[in-house]
Structure 1
């Protein structure tokens, strides 16, 4: 599903060049759940953005579901993301003027999906928000907003879901419930899940873990609670 080869990323400063990622190599199989763990400033969010085609690397290649996204133009990457990629962010990224139902319907409508309202309702019911369809984000708790965001991310049935600190703004209990939901949907829909987090307990629930420090990715270690059944 994902193949990264000799990936490096640098940014130019006024008097110097800052290396954010250096010589990253990574392969992720279809249906796997993978966590990238690192402290703030380690390069993990930059790596996630490159994997998702939100940016292009200074050196190296990123192949996503057969497409060499590191060599595509911005419009081509955007089209690929709309068809194959879902996102869950720490800050939810819901549109404040839309209801929960409308937020989940939006990507379905943009993609021309048939029956967007019925599908959005089904997804919100699956994440436990069947009674909150017509509430706007400001009328929902943080955990409920993240559930809406997860429903929206899975609405287009993405091949891969990228999650950036998905429980970072939630209390421990709510964060645990949200991580349960992510892992369940990953397993049931066969979606490849790639998340970055500083929470080692959340990372331990993924099938594989990588650590990143100063832009260097270390070898993965199998977690005690590794998910099984990934398809090569």
Structure 2
């Protein structure tokens, strides 16, 4: 078995990863022997039909779950060798998330939502950093508004600002435009790609949108839990 964790420049690697779950019909294989590595700063789309294993793979890559077999390496750490507390510590230090349903804290305003991961990470000046990135995503004038006072697109911009605030090694985005109209979704993805290109953060995006996937540098295509292809898109 090749040790993908030692690939030059790799910030994330799946090494012969399989995931099985038990069902009334017996063992169900969701992922089967998936291997790839992702370099620092890349933008990568994970695509495939519904049920192909995309979100399961994302959860494994982020250390939210463990594979049945194989290894996941994230920023030099073997996630599969760590307990839940250890994986949580790696996520806090190196990972950002953007979800379809935003996951903002409703009792915190926009500024406080973005400050939260900075405070947890022990930032020296969380307010100043949060205000700077909220300005970058065009929400300086909405910083004291609560999630209930924001549109869907504004909520997702706050979520993106929160995810990028700590300058994570990897940002995982799971169908980030799924709850947005087409125009707002395009604006959100333009923002996400701009932030990705202007930072060293690696973007890993789960999507069923082929046009969105084609904007990424690479597409990892799953079919029934297997790696069908890993292709690079032309610049």
Say if 2:49 and 2:208, in contact at 8 Å, map to a contact too: yes
Q: Which residue of 1 aligns with 2:12?
A: 2
Query: Equivalents in 2 of 1:189, 1:15: separation in Å?
Result: 46
Q: In the TM superposition, what are the counterparts of 1:49-198 in structure 2 within 5 Å?
A: 49-198=59-208
C-alpha displacement of 1:25: 0.6
Equivalent-residue separation in structure 2 for 1:137 and 1:23 (angstroms): 41
Deviation at 1:42, TM superposition (A): 1.3
Give 1:39 shift. 2.1
Aligned to 1:32: 42
**CA shift for structure 1 position 14:** 3.4
Secondary structure of 2:55's match?
Answer: helix
- Structure 1 unaligned blocks of 5 or more: 227-232
Does the 8 A contact of 2:222 with 2:229 survive in 1? no
CA deviations 1:34-84 (Å, max 9, x no partner) are 001122221100000000100100000011111111111100000000000
Q: Structure 1 residue runs of 4+, over 3 Å off?
A: none
The aligned length equals 225
**What is the SS of the residue equivalent to 2:198?**
helix
